[in-house]
């Protein structure tokens, strides 16, 4: 009996020791796992990110739009014909019975948007030249009866052209607009727009014609007048 009792004590003590050993092993394993996790987090790897931007040499596209001014000098209420036009066609001008001057039937003027595409870093310029706006078979011209306005334009929040933010750079008569250049710097952050409109004689501030422009009066011979405008991008 004593022998059996002693054996049980020994076995029981061994069980306790085994439990202690097992706990120690589990703690050591936990420490090893945690240490391994921390070691992994400390590793770094560099990944290259690359791209190539193609060179786009300077190119230009001009788009002509007819705009109805609604008889006002504010751009906000203008109605744009969103269909690009083949040219600047004022059509038949009617005599205003009050002021005795000739004006477009639909209160229209024309906007030419000039888009220059370039990432070469060149300091390009856009130069306008023109021929006489001349009576067919005659010598009379409308050179001093047309406004030419060069603007810097930035797209407005609505995206509609009448909401574009336009800032006049310079305003000329058609006569004086020959060989005039606009630089890249002058339209930086936007694009170039050139307006062409028949003189109205309006004296309201902000609505006046360019220097040298007068309305078309009854002194102007009847007939068809025509001319050309050329835009040149350099370099």
Q: Can you give the pLDDT at residue 186?
A: 98
pLDDT digits (tens, 9 = 90+) for 115-132: 999 999 999 999 999 999
Which bin fits 191, alpha (ψ -120 to 50), beta or left (φ > 0)? Answer: beta
Q: Can you give the pLDDT at residue 16?
A: 46
pLDDT digits (tens, 9 = 90+) for 90-120: 999 999 999 999 999 999 999 999 999 999 9
If you average pLDDT over residues 130-140, what whole number do you get? 98
Q: Can you give the pLDDT at residue 75?
A: 84
Domain spanning 59-234: CATH 2.60.120: yes
> Is the predicted pLDDT of residue 175 greater than 70, yes or no?
yes
Backbone angles phi, psi at 209, to 5 degrees: -70, 165
**Running DSSP on this structure, what letter comes out for residue 223?**
S
> Domain locations in the chain?
1-50, 59-234
Please report which confidence band the pLDDT of residue 74 belongs to, taking 50, 70 and 90 as the band edges. Answer: confident
Please report which confidence band the pLDDT of residue 28 belongs to, taking 50, 70 and 90 as the band edges. Answer: very low
């Amino acid at each position: 009996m004593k022998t059996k009792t002693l054996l049980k004590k020994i076995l029981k003590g061994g069980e306790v020791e085994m439990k202690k050993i097992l706990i120690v092993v589990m703690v050591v394993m936990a420490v090893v796992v945690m240490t391994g996790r921390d070691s992994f987090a400390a590793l770094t790897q560099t990944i290259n990110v690359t791209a190539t931007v193609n060179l786009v040499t300077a190119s230009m596209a001009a788009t002509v739009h007819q705009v109805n001014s609604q008889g006002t000098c504010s751009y906000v209420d203008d109605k744009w014909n969103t269909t690009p036009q083949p040219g600047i066609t004022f059509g038949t001008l009617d005599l205003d019975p009050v002021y005795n001057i000739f004006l477009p039937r639909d209160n229209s003027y024309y906007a030419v948007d000039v888009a220059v595409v370039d990432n070469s870093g060149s300091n390009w310029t856009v130069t306008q030249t023109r021929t006489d706006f001349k009576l067919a078979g005659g010598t009379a011209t409308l050179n001093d009866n047309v406004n030419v306005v060069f603007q810097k334009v930035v797209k407005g929040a609505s995206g509609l052209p009448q909401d574009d933010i336009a800032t006049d750079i310079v305003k000329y008569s058609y006569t004086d607009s020959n060989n005039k250049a606009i630089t890249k710097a002058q339209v930086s952050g936007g694009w170039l727009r050139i307006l062409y409109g028949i003189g109205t004689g309006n004296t309201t501030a902000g609505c006046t014609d360019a220097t040298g422009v007068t309305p078309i009066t009854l002194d102007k011979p009847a007939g068809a007048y025509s001319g050309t405008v050329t835009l040149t991008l350099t370099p």
